[in-house]
Amino acid sequence: MTGRANTPGGRDRIWWHRTLRLAAVVLGLWAVFGFAVHGLVVPLNSLVIAGFPLGFYMAAQGSLIAFVVLVFWFSARQDRIDREAGVAEPDPAREERPQ
Amino acid sequence: MSLPQRDDAFLANLGRIYGTYVGGFIAFVAALAILEQMGVPDRIIGYLFVFFTLAVYAGIGIVTRTVQVSEYYVAGRRVPAVYNGMATAADWLSGASFVGMAGTLYALGYDGLAYVIGWTGGYVLVAALVAPYLRKFGAYTVPDFLAARFGGNLARLVGVLVLFACSFTYVVAQIYATGIIASRFLGISFEVAVYVGLAGILLCSMLGGMRAVTWTQVAQYIVLIVAYMLPVAILSAQKFGFPLAQFTYGAVLQEIALLEQDLLARGLATAETLKPHLAPFTSLDPLNFFALIACLMVGTASLPHILMRYFTTLSVRDARRSVGWSLLFILLLYVTAPAYAAFAKLEIYQNVIGAGLEALPQWIYTYGKLGLVDICGAHAASPDAVQSACAAVPGNDGVLRLPDLAIDRDVIVIAMPEIAGLPYVIAGLVAAGGLAASLSTADGLLLAIANAMSHDVYYRMLDTRAPASRRLVMARVLLVGAAVLAAYVASTRPADILSVVAWAFSLAAAGNFPAIVLGIWWKRCTSAGAIAGMIAGFGVTLYYLAMTQYGGMAEWFGVKNISAALFGLPVGFAVTILVSLATPAPSREVQALIDDIRKPSGGPLMRDGPL
């Protein structure tokens, strides 16, 4: 931690920076599974697993599963960022009470 | 008026209530199966299914009715993340998804998967960019947020117009779908069936607003997902001894590929009429494929009736988690749809194409009579009708060829139990599921429209001192008004209803997305910029839709109008940014508001108004 991080303004700036970086990573992975993978459908289709050509499988199931994992990972990660910066809400699951 | 009850009996017993509900539903289906074996006619089974499920939804609506403003608009903001996920899934999975998705995949093969990707990936944008921030803000409606961020009622009014344009077209499609299902399974005319569906919708949503809709949607999700997965699980178990069709249909895909070769070799299809199921970009070129994905995804993150579901969670944290649960529950249907399509295609390529015209299966005529299956260019109402129609077609020698058969996309799911020879009780279950899907989406949409009219237009713009009781009466009157108008439009059978649904996504995307996202993520975004951007984006999209559909304008760069937001969205972003930079930066108060929206802690900014 730098000295700046001890002032409330500095801490907020670091927190927002980490939030922005997380959002950028999430959007990057979203673009990969939403678009890039399906651009490669023809080469991927030459690989067939349990009857599914891989390119078809990615569009029918693979990307969808990736999206779900991505959203749950994002919400856990963002929660940790908020918690470390002290801007998270009280969490009833951790027996924290609203002030 | 009483304060919100902390020990709300319904909320305290959610697990027990829905556990009992699932058990009761299984017992109900089992009882009907036994009745069918005892010789009760199909028609009675259909009636029991439709009326019993409608009665249960209405019962939940009555039990959870409310007279409190915050319960009416946002279910008191205490819906647990998992249940909100189920309610959102029911809100999302429309009659069109339930009934039409598998049929679209049947018709388009790989290219239809653009819908599957687009209608799921949008939730990543909802979670990362939009929902938690709107929840923190604490609005009742999406226009409420726009008004607070962009200084006043002009932004609110534009937001209401966008909301109305996309939600109303969408709700007409839902009521249309209920009409189709109710007329098939109750044996009444379509025009009457539309109003039966309407009665079901109003019973659930009118009394209790968001609170009642939330808890009926959870119940509807359970019915629709069981109804969707069961028939194809039975087929998979029959064929492979393993009920998870989502894993076994790979083998079916390989059989389809072999049958396609076989059909070509036997002259039952030609290279022009047969689109290989697995081959990409046969119906949509890559530009249209990816444009459609993009428009559906961004549209998902802009549809007011979906975004407002995340206003109901307990916390910002729960809003994020709830998006994950929503997507998981939605995914269950979308990974099943391609399996449906594959099993249906296998059955039709194996047993229908190449069959003698006198030996076609019975379901062809059942749906031919409804005008949903055409053979040789005429409704396949009876064996005689089919044979006389085909006799007039050159080259047909008494055997059904692929180009002779035209199946409406909506038939694949509804007819699957009959195609596979399953008992009628399964068909009734599917009808109940389709009805649940249409009703739940219609409820959410009507609520979005009525809330915007009563809260934004009436309370915020016309009479800011209206007492709570009058606002809620107003909300209910407007809800009924919007519902009756939508039912009337649906009963006139507007043409090409499915494209209209895709248009709703484009209109929402171009109208709402730049203003909402830049409003949260870019402090420099000004009121003038956002309003100009909304009008420009929405305007370009509407112009492209109207001109290509009705004005005879040629497509720009060959982009189909179901992806109209491909033009409206960049225009919306560009205008918002340029006008923002040309106008003075937002005030200190607005900048502080944005800082507050971004931080989860501290509670909602808009306090739920006085009761």
Tallying the residues shown for chain A, one arrives at 99
Q: What is the mean pLDDT of residues B522-547?
A: 95
* pLDDT tens string B224-282: 999 999 999 999 999 899 999 999 999 999 999 999 999 998 888 888 888 899 999 98
**ipTM associated with this complex:** 0.92
* pLDDT tens string B317-360: 999 999 999 999 999 999 999 999 999 999 999 989 988 888 88
Say what the pLDDT of residue A3 is. 47
Contact call for B250 and A52, based on CB within 8 A: yes
A52, closest residue in chain B (CA to CA): B250
Q: Which residues of A touch B315 (CB under 8 A)?
A: 89, 91
Q: How many CB pairs under 8 A join A and B?
A: 127
Q: For residue B558, what are its two tokens? A: 């060959």
CA neighbor of B232 nearest in space, from B101, B124, B375: B101
* Cα–Cα distance for residue pair A81/A87, rounded to 1 Å: 9
Q: What is the mean pLDDT of residues B412-436?
A: 88
Say what the pLDDT of residue B75 is. 87
Q: Which of A27, A33, A71 sits opposite B327 (nearest CB)?
A: A71
Say what the pLDDT of residue B549 is. 82
Q: What is the mean pLDDT of residues A43-60?
A: 93
Which has the higher per-residue pLDDT, B130 or B554?
B130
- Say if residue A13 is exposed, middle or buried (CB neighbours under 10 Å; 0-12, 13-18, 19+): middle
Residue A11 at interface with chain B, using a CB cutoff of 8 Å: no
User: What is the CA angle B458-B443-B77, rounded to 5?
Assistant: 70
* Cα–Cα distance for residue pair B134/B363, rounded to 1 Å: 49
Contact call for B315 and A53, based on CB within 8 A: no
Contact call for B278 and A53, based on CB within 8 A: yes
> Most A CBs within 10 Å: which of B93, B314, B340, B601, as the mutation test of the A interface?
B601
Chain mean pLDDT for chain B: 88
CA neighbor of B347 nearest in space, from B426, B227, B232: B232
* pLDDT tens string B305-318: 999 999 999 999 99
Identify whether the C-beta of residue B135 lies closer than 8 Å to the C-beta of residue B477.
Answer: no
Contact call for B252 and A55, based on CB within 8 A: no
Q: For residue A29, what are its two tokens? A: 């992975």
Say what the pLDDT of residue B494 is. 67
Residue A70 at interface with chain B, using a CB cutoff of 8 Å: yes
Residue A63 pLDDT level (bands cut at 50, 70, 90): very high
Identify whether the C-beta of residue B159 lies closer than 8 Å to the C-beta of residue B516.
Answer: no
Say what percent of chain B tops pLDDT 90: 48
Neighbours of B277 (CB within 10 A): 25
Expressed in angstroms, the distance from the first to the final Cα of chain A is 27
CA neighbor of B376 nearest in space, from B385, B366, B367, B365: B385
Least confident piece of the model among B162-166, B335-339, B418-422: B418-422
pLDDT at residue A93 is higher than 80: no
Q: Which of B113, B253, B327 sits opposite A59 (nearest CB)?
A: B113
3-class SS of residue B526: coil
Residue A61 at interface with chain B, using a CB cutoff of 8 Å: yes
Measure in Å the smallest separation between the Cα of A75 and chain B Cα atoms: 6
* pLDDT tens string B473-505: 888 888 888 888 888 888 877 656 666 777 889
Say what the pLDDT of residue B11 is. 83
**Local structure of residue B581 (DSSP, 8 states):** H
3-class SS of residue B378: strand
Q: What is the mean pLDDT of residues B458-483?
A: 83
Tallying the residues shown for chain B, one arrives at 611
Which has the higher per-residue pLDDT, B586 or B187?
B586
Q: What is the mean pLDDT of residues A13-27?
A: 96
Say what the pLDDT of residue B189 is. 81
Residue B609 pLDDT level (bands cut at 50, 70, 90): very low
**Residue A95 amino acid letter:** E
Contact call for B317 and A71, based on CB within 8 A: no
Is the torsion defined by CA of B145, B147, B148, B150 positive or negative?
A: positive
Identify whether the C-beta of residue B170 lies closer than 8 Å to the C-beta of residue B94.
Answer: yes
Which has the higher per-residue pLDDT, B293 or B151?
B293
pLDDT at residue B50 is higher than 70: yes
Q: Which residues of A touch B316 (CB under 8 A)?
A: 89
Residue A67 at interface with chain B, using a CB cutoff of 8 Å: yes
Q: For the sheet containing B378-379, what is the strand order?
A: B378-379, B373-375, B405-407
Identify whether the C-beta of residue B227 lies closer than 8 Å to the C-beta of residue B523.
Answer: no
Say what the pLDDT of residue B315 is. 92
Expressed in angstroms, the distance from the first to the final Cα of chain B is 7
Say what the pLDDT of residue B281 is. 92
Which has the higher per-residue pLDDT, B380 or B607?
B380
Contact call for B252 and A51, based on CB within 8 A: yes
pLDDT at residue B2 is higher than 50: no
**Local structure of residue B561 (DSSP, 8 states):** G
**Local structure of residue B97 (DSSP, 8 states):** I
Say what the pLDDT of residue B496 is. 60
Least confident piece of the model among B80-84, B104-108, B415-419: B415-419
